[in-house]
Structure 1
Amino acid sequence: MPDNRKVTASREENAAYMNQVLPVKDSFDIIQRDMLIGGRMASFYFIDGFTKDEVMLKIMDSLFKVTQENMPADATQFSRECIPYVEVDILGDFDDVLRNVLSGVTCLFIEGYEACIAIDCRTYPARSVEEPDKDKSLRGSRDGFVETIVFNTALMRRRIRDPHLIMEMTEVGDTSRTDVAICYMGDRVDQELLNTVQQRIKSIRTDDLRMNQQSLAECLFKRKWYNPFPKFKFTERPDTAAACLLEGKVVIMVDNSPSAMILPTSIFDMIEEANDYYFPTLTGLYLKFSRTLITIMTVFLTPVFLLFMQNLNWLPKAFDFVAVKDMVNIPLIFQLLILEIAIDGLRLAALNTPSMLSTPLSVIAGLVMGEFSVKSGWFNAEVMLYMAFVAVANYTQPNFELGYALKFMRLQLLILTALFNWVGFAAGCIIVIISLCFNKTLSGRNYLNVKLN
């Protein structure tokens, strides 16, 4: 780790220390460029691939025109008079210098100046701004977050032209030193929540954020393994993040992550999506209601079906048609559990299948899993129908983590119902309610937005 050593007026000493700390000779992309500016020796340090070549050519062209008679007295005056660029800073600590160099900033040492001149003409490799695949909107904007944090903050700033929009930049990780931006509206944010978020981020002591946003989420709030419901809401849409900022929420951006973390979170926030805001009020309410109803059905449909199949005398005559008519070769609980695992297997296979083959392979898998699995006697048609509904209904809400949390709740309901009949089903329902009510989030509130002590 770099120490608090100060930059000296000797370029040779500064360059020697930089070459001692940085692997200039061993790493091809860390470059030292020595040149003569106004009769004095100077050294540039920068990362190849992070610097805008056209901008640096223009800056160097201006520096070559500086004569010995026109050399300013100090680095601050030099940056004002001789560097025709906007983002220029003066650094006096090697810790700041090394952090800037490794972040892509070009740093300049000049003989006789007891400071380093940092020229922020960096550019990061980035993909084009496009609509995210998972969080699509029928009528909304078609842009989405990318892996570069500056682009992401610009997408939100473009939507909110208000001086109260504040974006605080900090770093997390002793080795990775990952940039983290805390975004909020100064006149609308919950100050207690904001202070909690700021203090927790400052108190994080970790070597690196290996998985970027997910690593930060785990550092911010230690989740309990037995409660699968997510603590944070994530979105890849800048319009959704901007709407949450205007509602007084806090948005956290992490460099190298194409999504925003939104606080505070409730179950009602989790099941919302952008389409709810792009339609008239009545249509939006209908979409929310239908999504909520389908979400509840994904949890309780198959357990209720299993409960009635174990107690056929409970089944009203009007619903006799839902009873399994064919011979049951494998117990219903095992059929349901096998299909739960098989659906996840198909989902994982789809993620790793080349796009040109995904459609034909999906058709083949559908035929095999559907028709032939029923004819072979492994599964009953009714079980296949209900599991097909559950598999498709999981995609009605955009939150991936919430989908798996609901899946785990459904699995425990199935197992308890199979083992203890209606008593197990009632116990499973109680577990679901308790998991929601006592799922404490970073704001100190639970999923029902009730303050917890």
Structure 2
Amino acid sequence: MQFSKNLEDNLEHLKQTLSLEKNFDVVYRVISIGGKKGCLLFVDGLTKDEVLLKVLQAWWSIKPEDMPTDAHGFSKKYMPYGEVGLIANEEDMIVQLLSGITAVLIDGYDKCLMLDCRTYPARSVGEPEKDKVLRGSRDGFVETLIFNTALIRRRIRDPKLIMEILSAGNSSHTDIAVCYMEGRVDEALLKNIRNRIKNLQVDALTMNQESLAEGIFPHKWYNPFPKFKFSERPDTAAACILEGNIVILVDNSPAAMVLPSSVFDIIEEADDYYFPPVTGTYLRLSRMMTAILCLLLTPTWLLGMMHADALPEWLAFTKLSDVTYVPLIFQLLILEFAIDGLRLAAINTPNMLTTPLSVIAGIVLGEYSVKSGWFNSETMLYMAFVTIANYSQSSFELGYALKFMRVILLLLTAVFDVWGYITGFVIAVCAIVFNKTIAGKSYIYPIIPFSWKELKKRFFRGRLPVIPESQNADVNR
């Protein structure tokens, strides 16, 4: 619906649409501007009051004979602020108003003036709890979109850095920022992602990036290995953009979604690059080995205990030292689910009780569960290692994917013995090999298709590439 030049008609329709008499936080104020009747609309709590005060002071000095004939002329002459826009459509105006932008309607003008002096309640840009580093910057993304884009822009001062703003959700109208480097990004993938977001038919992005991810990539939901890399670190997001990836930021979410992402991209961490090449390579390789052990340790040990008599002497220490009352497969499965239960309990436990409850849980579950005969000490040891090893991955999704594959491997090994172990291993490998990135490319590139040059970069942390002087001179020119 287009605005009319009659302020009373516009205001009467907005009162019904916005329920201005019921919504206490949607404030409207009728004022006089240069002898004309005007109306100021804003959402209380999302507007900078000091900016509005200064703008109103500037309007009070306008004389009737100085009033322009249209909204465009008024915005150029009497809007003493940087971010000002004009909107002729009421639906677009309502979306921006509910986003925190102040709307100004003036009698005789058929367009609404939008004054972007909004402010959002936000926490400080402190280091994220999950993506901590031993060395490096200590800032992280927050729930305010404009803060997150500023953190990336601060690190990439290049005019080729593009940040497109889109929205999704018929009710929420959630802002989505698509960030990429012009000239480095895959244009076909960018066009595909842009079209998918624009055509996304959802009522609201209630789960932020997860809702968006499920909307733009609904295929192969049964494969647990993640299709996206998530990070709460602006330095990681900036590095991914410079490598030609696309970073998607969603308002109200403190994480950046990086795509396309292979399994090697997801395994990488910021610490790999904040240390010298030798140390970074060691950290990367140790993380990969830990992931493999996390998947295979308990199924391999279970298979060995099923054939304990065939174990060589140098592996005799892995045999059970006590009598087994509960079959090993049930011990391992109970611990798999119990650990997740403890993790959920830790999340919901008040901070003041976390330490004493952890001590109690450690004593009860660690010592008395073994003494009571429910678990063997060897089972507790290997499951403790697997639990700690899961946290070596910065990606929750990858950690749970390894967990699901491990449980499948345990069940098949317990039922079908050696052939079950082999089948479970093949299923885990196929889940990785036949997975695809959102761009439709191999999930384990550069292994398939093979590229030795790229493979070395994935496994070994190299030195920072130096731009030749000739290219550097062209850039500076």
- TM-score of the superposition, structure 1-length normalised? 0.97
Q: Residue 216 of structure 2: which of 193, 217, 220 is its match?
A: 220
**Equivalent residue number for residue 246 of structure 1:** 242
The secondary structure found in structure 2 opposite 1:123 is coil
> 2:370 is matched by which residue type in structure 1?
V
Give 1:446 shift.
3.4
The secondary structure found in structure 1 opposite 2:128 is coil
Describe the superposition over 1:261-291 as per-residue Cα deviations: whole angstroms up to 9, x where unpaired. 0001111111111101100001000000000
The secondary structure found in structure 1 opposite 2:86 is strand
- Identity of counterpart residues, as a percentage? 56
**Equivalent residue number for residue 337 of structure 1:** 333
Which structure 2 segments of 5+ residues have no match? 450-477
Q: Residue 102 of structure 1: which of 91, 95, 98 is its match?
A: 98
Give 1:223 shift.
4.2
Say yes or no: does 1:266 pair with 2:270.
no
Matched pairs, number: 447
Give 1:441 shift.
2.5
Describe the superposition over 1:211-263 as per-residue Cα deviations: whole angstroms up to 9, x where unpaired. 11111111011143431111111000000000000000000000000000000
Contact 1:436–1:446 (Cα < 8 Å) also in 2:
no
Q: Residue 23 of structure 1: which of 11, 19, 22 is its match?
A: 19
Say yes or no: does 1:379 pair with 2:375.
yes
Partner Cα separation in structure 2 for residue 133 and residue 217 of structure 1: 23
> 2:275 is matched by which residue type in structure 1?
F
Say yes or no: does 1:68 pair with 2:64.
yes
Q: Residue 295 of structure 2: which of 295, 299, 316 is its match?
A: 299
Give 1:370 shift.
1.1
**Equivalent residue number for residue 40 of structure 1:** 36
**Equivalent residue number for residue 129 of structure 1:** 125
Partner Cα separation in structure 1 for residue 116 and residue 222 of structure 2: 46
**Equivalent residue number for residue 210 of structure 1:** 206
Describe the superposition over 1:355-391 as per-residue Cα deviations: whole angstroms up to 9, x where unpaired. 1211121111111111111111111111110000001
**Equivalent residue number for residue 179 of structure 1:** 175
Partner Cα separation in structure 2 for residue 251 and residue 288 of structure 1: 23
Partner Cα separation in structure 2 for residue 166 and residue 191 of structure 1: 13
**Equivalent residue number for residue 344 of structure 2:** 348
Say yes or no: does 1:194 pair with 2:190.
yes
Partner Cα separation in structure 1 for residue 270 and residue 362 of structure 2: 30
Partner Cα separation in structure 2 for residue 14 and residue 436 of structure 1: 58
Q: Residue 430 of structure 2: which of 411, 420, 434 is its match?
A: 434
**Equivalent residue number for residue 164 of structure 2:** 168
Say yes or no: does 1:10 pair with 2:6.
yes
Give 1:314 shift.
3.4
- TM-score of the superposition, structure 2-length normalised? 0.92
Residues 319-330 of structure 1 aligned to structure 2 (within 5 Å):
319-330=315-326
**Equivalent residue number for residue 55 of structure 2:** 59
**Equivalent residue number for residue 389 of structure 1:** 385
Describe the superposition over 1:290-343 as per-residue Cα deviations: whole angstroms up to 9, x where unpaired. 000001000000000000111124322111111112101010000000111111
Partner Cα separation in structure 2 for residue 21 and residue 291 of structure 1: 55
Partner Cα separation in structure 2 for residue 190 and residue 117 of structure 1: 38
Describe the superposition over 1:113-168 as per-residue Cα deviations: whole angstroms up to 9, x where unpaired. 12111000000111111000011011110100000100000000000000000000
> 1:295 is matched by which residue type in structure 2?
A
**Equivalent residue number for residue 78 of structure 1:** 74
Say yes or no: does 1:409 pair with 2:399.
no
> 1:92 is matched by which residue type in structure 2?
A
Higher alpha-carbon deviation: 314-323 or 174-183:
314-323
> 1:355 is matched by which residue type in structure 2?
N
> 1:224 is matched by which residue type in structure 2?
K
Partner Cα separation in structure 2 for residue 314 and residue 265 of structure 1: 43
Partner Cα separation in structure 1 for residue 86 and residue 115 of structure 2: 9
Which structure 1 segments of 5+ residues have no match? none
